[in-house]
Copies of this chain bind each other. A is one copy, B any other.
Amino acid sequence: MLLHIQFDSETPIYQQVKDQIIRGIALGELKLGEKLPSVRQLAADIGINLHTVNKVYNQLKSEGWVVIHRKSGVMINPHLNLNQSSEALEELDDLLKNITAESFLKGISKDEFITLVERNYDRYNMRESE
């Protein structure tokens, strides 16, 4: 799996890496139980610091996306459960409050917005048919 970092972005590097790993899981590019590169390896590959990668891995661990073993390293959590929490829905709605408002004012219709959501979601459910 390839990571593309924009070093001139307002979005912090660690956030970009984190986002792309989570998206990689959803897309099926990263399988459950798949091993991730070591902190030193990934840092060297991307051209960033070891600690930045370590920060990513620790946050991913705190949020349950990966598990870390002492020697074997980091792997995607093999028991990722898609159990929906009420908090997740509330957090999403808080996000959408701002995003939909700005999108609406920028002339993006409800249907256009939903089409984008569908096109993204349809990339995730493909996993059974692979």
Q: List 14 A-B contacts (CB under 8 A).
A: A23-B98, A23-B102, A25-B105, A26-B101, A26-B104, A82-B106, A92-B113, A95-B99, A96-B120, A97-B120, A100-B117, A100-B124, A110-B121, A114-B118
A106 & B121 in contact (Cβ 8 Å cutoff): no
Within the complex, the shortest CB–CB distance from A57 to chain B, in Å, comes to: 17
State how many angstroms separate the Cβ of A33 from the closest Cβ of chain B: 15
Interface residue from B88, B101, B117 paired with A114 (Cβ < 8 Å): B117
- Interface of A with B (CB < 8 Å)? 19, 22-23, 25-27, 80-85, 88-89, 92-93, 95-108, 110, 112-114, 116-118, 120-122, 124-125
